[in-house]
Amino acid sequence: MGAGELNSELAKKMMSCSGDGPLAMQTVKLYHKPDCASFDAFGRVVSGTIKVGDQVSVLGEGYTLDDDEDMTVKTVSDIWFYEGRYRVPIMTATAGMLVLVGGIDDSIIKTSTVVHNGVNADEMSIFRPLKHTTRSVIKLALEPLNPSELPKMLDGLRKVIRNPKPQTPNPKP
């Protein structure tokens, strides 16, 4: 943020962790639901208040003011406190709270910024994506037992790694 941006009303509300400011939430991890069919987004409400039923804009890591392709509008279906293995449902989360949010996971790959739908477009920007300094240490080679089930296996792998771009498998030499 530049010096002018730090003096904006939105920046002041975020720095004071104000519950009456505009919604700004950073999601940092996706946790699978108990049925393992979809995910819930875990994040911190930095400013404002989020409620079940709110229409929110989910800004992905590739969102910019010039290119809004990585933005989707979703409805918040559930909010929970995440306490170890327990999920405690709540109706409202205010600034400073760490919560799980349901219904917004479809477009999130790694991290995202969540704002209320209709926020002034001049002030929308994303939180800086997290950079992980570690590398993968395990590599796997997978193939289906029945080659005709390859598309089904690839679809399942895409859901696990949250990769939005379909890739064709390399044929064996």
Tell me the pLDDT tens digit for each residue of 112-153.
889 888 766 556 777 777 776 777 678 888 888 999 999 988
Burial 134-164 (b: 16+ CB within 10 A, else e): eeeeeeeeeeeeeeeeeeebbeeeeeeeeee
* Closest to 114 (Cα-Cα) out of 133, 135, 131, 97: 97
* Closest to 74 (Cα-Cα) out of 54, 100, 95: 54
Contact partners, residue 138, CB within 8 Å, separation at least 6: none
Q: Can you tell me the distance from the alpha carbon of 56 to that of 76, in angstroms, rounded to the nearest whole number?
A: 7
Higher pLDDT, 128 or 8: 128
Q: What is the pLDDT of residues 45-84, one digit of tens each?
A: 988 899 999 999 888 888 887 877 888 899 999 999 988 8
User: What is the average per-residue pLDDT within 158-171?
Assistant: 57
Domains annotated for the chain, with CATH where assigned, are: 3-116 (2.40.30.10)
